[in-house]
Structure 1
Amino acid sequence: MNERKIKEIERLIGKFFDGETTLREEQRLYEFFARRSVPARLQGYREVFAGFASMQAGEPRRLKLRRVLMRVAAAAAVALIVVSAVVAYAGYREDRHLARLYGGSYVIENGHRIDDLSEIKDDIEKALDDAGRIERRISSANVADNAEQEVLNSIDDPSERRRISEMLND
């Protein structure tokens, strides 16, 4: 580095400590002391200007990127927590719903009682479907029985009524 540039930096250092530098001149000082090689006679100022440079309003690009990445990571963590909470709450609601519908139900399988409602839900629903089918079949059979009885009751002749009743029961 030539002597003229070193003298210019020394002049800026004097202005800096007198509080007379412009932002551009201060930036020149920060950049100068951030270099790898600084003349030995100015080496003592290196840490001072590194400290002042770290306090400037504009951040280095790496710090900005790091701050953005931290915000993205924080947002992702919040999103993950919200999704986990929603999934946990849905599971809780499902358990409560099953307890309301089938509370106290159990299944005996291979001699072991199973009362975990989430585990036996399908068995309970199958049993309820079967029961519904049986009720519908019984209901339709009752309709047919009632219709037969009405027809028999409408026949005035007792012997004819008995003969038709025997035919229906065969």
Structure 2
Amino acid sequence: MRIDDLLEKYFEGETTAAEEKELRTFFSSGPVAEHLAPYQPLFAYFDEEIARKEEKEEAVVPAVAERSARRKVYYMVSGIAAAVLLLLGIGQIFFSEGRRYCSDNYVIINGRCYTDVKTIREHAFRALEEVATTPDELIPALDRDEVDRRIIEEQLNDLRSLFDEEE
């Protein structure tokens, strides 16, 4: 008999997938011979397990498809964000006026780079005028004669001390 041979081959582990399917079909088709009846629950169990596995795979396919779609959207958005950041970086490098490098001799005034000597002098004199104090601001007009007299006295004292030491 063909089924007996297939059973023997099955228990030896030598059957192909087609032969195992034939055995499952035979044992699930209905009543079988008495000597084969003990094997019927075994193959019925295999049929149930295979059906359960197929149901799980069918249930998993939409979840996998949903994850795959999410992953595609994520990669697309990530790629767009990376491209935007790259363009912003390139734009910052090439189109930023304040960050360009100057030549070897330069001065930075208010964040701008100047290499023209005439312009630099103008800026320097303007800055000095802003911070410089005139003698009138430093010494009141009423005390000017007194200050001049003190300065002359101090200079004379210094000269006297030089001559006194030499003697």
**If the length of structure 2 is used for normalisation, what is the TM-score?**
0.34
Larger radius of gyration: 2
